[in-house]
Amino acid sequence: MTRHLQQDSLYNYQIIEFSIAKEALNWCLEKTPEIILLDFASVNENASIFLEKLRSRLSNSQFTVILLIKPGDEDLAVRAMKSGAQDYLIKNQITPEILQRVIRHGMEKMYLMQQLAQTKAALQQSEHRYATLAEVVPVAIFRLDADGNCIYVNDRWSQITGEPIQAALGRGCLDTIHPEDSDRLFHQWTEVLTQEKMYCYEGKFLRKDGTTIWFYMQILPETDQNVTTIGYVGTLTDISEQQAALDDGLRPTIGDLIEAEAKLRKISERLTLAISSGRFGIWEFDCVQEKVIWDERMYELYGVHPEDFPGNFDAWLSFVHPDDQDYLLVTIQQVLHQNQEYDAEFQIIQPSGEIRVIKAYGVLNCDEQGKPILMVGINIDITERKQAEQELIHNRDLREVIFNESADALFLVDPVTLLTLDCNRRTVELFEATNKGELLGIEGRTLQRRPFTSNEIDTIVTQMQTKGFWSQEIEYVTLKGKLFWGNIAAKPITIAGRTLNLVRVTDINERKQAEEKLLRTNEQLAKANAELARATRLKDEFLANMSHELRTPLNAILGMSEGFIEGVFGAINQKQAKAIATIKRSGKHLLELINDILDLSKIESGKLELQISDVSVRSICDGSLTFIQQMALKKNICLSTHIGSNLDTIQVDDRRLRQVLINLLSNAVKFTPEGGNVKLTVWLEEVGTNETLGAEKLISQSSIPSPHICFRVTDTGIGIASEDISKLFQPFTQLDSSLNRNYTGTGLGLALVKRITTLHGGTILVNSEVGQGSCFTVRIPYLSGDNSLKKLQDPERVDLPATLIPKTLTIPVILLAEDNQANIDTISSYLESRGYEMVLAENGQQALDFAREKCPDLIIMDIQMPGMNGLEAIRQIRNEQKFIDIPIIALTALAMPSDRTTCLAAGANEYLTKPIKLKQLVLTIQQLLKNHQELHTSKYRKSD
């Protein structure tokens, strides 16, 4: 799974793995993860209990838990999800696509939870702000419950009445009412309880010091969603000075006080709205699996228990009223196919039979190909609001209630002149007018940043006549020059027998700003992805170019060395042979470094795929030991091996596992002094055993339990300090400068070991002490071969001798197309010494011309040449009928994964990378010529 996640193109993950659940739990106390992949098998206790521990210890953090279960444990997973897990994966069904999608979904849900937490925090801050305001306003504020008991007063109450706050709670707030006013106040309070409207009262307080205070009081009922009175909020203003002025014949009006009270009431209403607006449910719809996920509030809205809701699309649709199902299906299809925002209003039928009205909003997320993958949104129960609207429409004056009290800006417009005849209070606020008169008698389009043209108005009128309404999002300018976005909707209505246009403008500025921010974020993400793709492409181009530039001269170096050793250029003495062997050995070392760099790049970019096959354990071990045997003999190091008797064949990538063992064995010999010991031990680790752990350092691991085959390399070398073990597997890294001077190498070997082991789903363990030697253990999931190998191949293939062409046979003509003179000399000299006739071309065009002129038996084509390159030359040669089956060998210094496919697709029969082994080249030539001869013989017999 680690490999699957590392291939994710959207996220870069930092993956921390634990095999023991308790260790993971302790780690979470120090660092909070964003995603937790929890294997059921790693939890010794009940998974639900473990999740409760996890939630309690990380109660202040947001994270997502995804369960890993084996087939048949789905019921356990569902119960665990009720304890806090978000999703589960079945182990034998995990693919890179499924794993990446579930992880991304978990990340998105976690981010949504974080945003909700931030919203709640902002709401708490707002509530605190309004509470602070209540303490600093110059009037007394009080709240009563539904029975008239005082539950809150601010400090100003104590200042006015001279009583402490605690004395006012309960019924104590009435104790200071002057005896002359008490009967009248109680009588009027009874009317307040029955009429449920604002109550205003002017009276006197009798303070304990005997002084009288005149006050002006206003009380407003507070209601819940069901329009049921839940309490009262009121203000009390000291008007003693005004009363004294009245006594002197100078009493002013109390309009200013009323206006102040109106402002305070408005603040209270906003606070109530902010609190009540949080009553919504959050849902998610997985468009791929058609899974529906609800939060707790959603279950409350639909009147259903979590265990009674299957969590799929059809189950949700069954709640929708039959009258609204078709409309909703059409709406959702439009959202999925046109990537629109989801905005719907519909009825549901709860299990109890009660019908509720739901307002739904949602947004759609798509993958890189535009395919819908996830919808996220909210449901709001607007039943009471809809009922109230219907009641108001039928029982109250439309203009006074719907028009004037609307939360949106409303205009009444003459459909002929387009002049504004009336507007509500929200219009005055939204467009920053001093009063309503500034907006009357004007055309509404003058408030638009780009006013509608006459043609556009004609289109709007036509749509209103045909559809009954019209709506659009446009940008407005207030009377003070402020820009904001509004959603405008218009429809014709009839008032007192006269047809007018009712125009609604909703402030959507915050939503538009959020959309613009999201758009900028997406643009930045796209730019970052493009830069990443560009960097990856440049890296690949650099590696391809580096490979070509280094392999081209190496081809001549190794080829000439091989030719000298085989006596192609004449006899050489022992001293010369030793020098030539040194050149060849150094060249091969440089080639190995190039191959290591390319292998590491392929693994890190996810382009290296394992070639899994049945491999003999004994063969792969013996072959690896043979490779380093000569190096060990030079240092008088004793090599030994022990392979478990129960091991025969395993399923691995033969070449890559050899690469791992050879690297580990080579390092063991390199860092072991003369006369030391190096041992290779192989055994099978069954499930439940823990042989390999001990005090060793775990470098990487898989959390899924399974049998493992273990390869352990131990030595009596210089050892490694414990603090340096973590540095071992970093590319191009050696432990200190002294090692760089005393031991050769680039630091790539162990990096490749770790990555190849990880690709196999395995782990690497290290145990070492300075001066006591080192122990490296590779653990790979054990997959026994289906069939024992009938014949074990030797680890080092012994090439058959490249034979000479008998003089009695026709000498084959080979066309060599190559632009590097050193390579021309090397290859042509060697092939001529083997009896072939050579035709030489320096570019693709010459190769094409010489092929037509000489009709060679075989063509060796270099790919990168000036002018016409080798690929184009191969294509043109294949286009001619007489060359349709001529053998062609593509010869190139390019060694990237796709180069072989490209060459073969162009028409080449074989593909060899520089530097080539000349023996291998001759064997390839012989095989191709043999196949070509057999093909023509077969055609000849058929024609007879």
Rounded Cα distance between 825 and 560, Å, is 9
DSSP string, 631-648: HHHHTTPEEEEEE-TT--
| Residue-by-residue DSSP string for 121-164 | HHHHHHHHHHHHHHHHSSSEEEEEETTS-EEEE-HHHHHHH---
CA atoms of 206 and 928, how far apart (whole Å): 119
**What angle is formed at CA 469 by the lines to CA 466 and CA 473, rounded to 5 degrees?**
125
Q: By C-alpha distance, which of 252, 157, 149 is closest to 213?
A: 157
411's CB contacts (< 8 A; 6+ apart) are 420, 422, 423, 427, 439, 444, 501, 502, 503, 504, 505
Collect the ranges in the chain with pLDDT lower than 50: 136, 249-261, 263-278, 691-704, 737-741, 786-808
Beta strands in 446-537 (DSSP E): 470-477, 483-495, 498-507
Q: What CATH number has the domain spanning 280-386?
A: 3.30.450.20
Please tell me the predicted confidence (pLDDT) of residue 627: 80
Smallest CA-to-CA distance from 382 within 296, 277, 283, 471 is with 277
Bridge partners of 413, per DSSP, are 420, 501
Here the tokens at position 189 are 């309070």
Determine the Cα–Cα distance for residues 136 and 155; give it in Å rounded to an integer: 9
Contact call for residues 769 and 725 (beta carbons, < 8 A):
no
Confidence at residue 361, expressed as pLDDT on a 0 to 100 scale: 81
pLDDT of residue 817: 94
Is 780 within 8 Å of 762 (Cβ atoms)?
Answer: yes
- List, as one string, the DSSP characters of 333-349: HHHHHH-PPEEEEEEEE
- Hey, is 359 helix, strand or coil? strand
| pLDDT, position 389 | 64
Residues 6+ apart with CB under 8 A from 897: 602, 607, 608
Top CATH class of 137-276 equals alpha beta
Q: What's the CATH number for 397-507?
A: 3.30.450.20
Residue 492 pLDDT: 92
CB 113 within 8 A of CB 86: no
User: What pLDDT, in 10s, does the model give residues 574-630?
Assistant: 888 877 877 877 677 677 667 767 666 666 666 677 888 999 999 889 888 888 888
Token digits of residue 321? 């009223």
**pLDDT for position 679:** 95
Cα angle 27-28-31, degrees, rounded to a multiple of 5 = 90
Rounded Cα gap, residues 572 and 576, in angstroms: 6
Supply the Cα-derived Rg of the chain in whole angstroms.
Answer: 42
Burial (CB count within 10 angstroms: exposed 0-12, middle 13-18, buried 19+), residue 788: exposed
Q: What pLDDT is stored for residue 496 in this prediction?
A: 63
What's the number of CA atoms in the CB half-sphere (13 Å) around residue 471?
Answer: 9
Q: Are 80 and 69 in contact (CB under 8 A)?
A: no
The pLDDT assigned to 431 comes to 94
Q: Whole-angstrom Cα distance, residue 899 to residue 896?
A: 6
The CB density around residue 371, as the number of other CB atoms within 10 Å, is 10
Encoded amino acid at 513, one letter: Q
Q: What's 609-781's CATH class? A: alpha beta
**Given the DSSP bridges, would you call strands 470-477 and 150-153 parallel, antiparallel or unpaired?**
unpaired
Model confidence over 519-545: pLDDT tens digits? Answer: 888 888 888 888 877 876 776 666 666
Residue 214 CB-half CA count within 13 A: 10
**What tokens does 113 get?**
């939870």
Q: How far apart are CA 582 and CA 590, in angstroms?
A: 12
Take residue 696 and report the two structure tokens written for it: 């060793």
Task: Please state the three-class secondary structure of 696-759 as a single string.
Answer: CEEEECCCCCCCEEEEEEEECCCCCCHHHHHHCCCCCCCCCHHHHHHCCCCCCHHHHHHHHHHH
Query: Cα(16)–Cα(34) distance, rounded to whole angstroms?
Result: 11
CA distance linking residue 396 with residue 492, whole number of Å:
20
Q: 27 vs 16, 60, 482, 865, CA distance in Å?
A: 10, 16, 52, 58
Please tell me the predicted confidence (pLDDT) of residue 773.
92
Residue 138 has a pLDDT of: 60
Q: What CATH architecture is 2-120? A: 3-Layer(aba) Sandwich (3.40)
Instruction: Fill in the amino acid letter for 198.
Output: M
Q: Between the CA atoms of 157, 163, 164 and 169, what dihedral angle is there, to the nearest 10 degrees? A: -70
Order of strands, sheet of 708-715, starting from the edge strand that comes earlier in the sequence: 638-643, 677-685, 708-715, 773-781, 763-769, 697-700
Note the pLDDT of residue 798: 36
pLDDT for residue 479: 93
Kind and range of the H or E run holding 221: strand 212-223
Assigned superfamily of 813-943: Response regulator (3.40.50.2300)
pLDDT at 816: 95
Give the amino acid at 574. Answer: Q
Query: Is there a contact between 131 and 306 (Cβ–Cβ < 8 Å)?
Result: no
Q: From the centroid of its chain, how far is CA 220?
A: 51
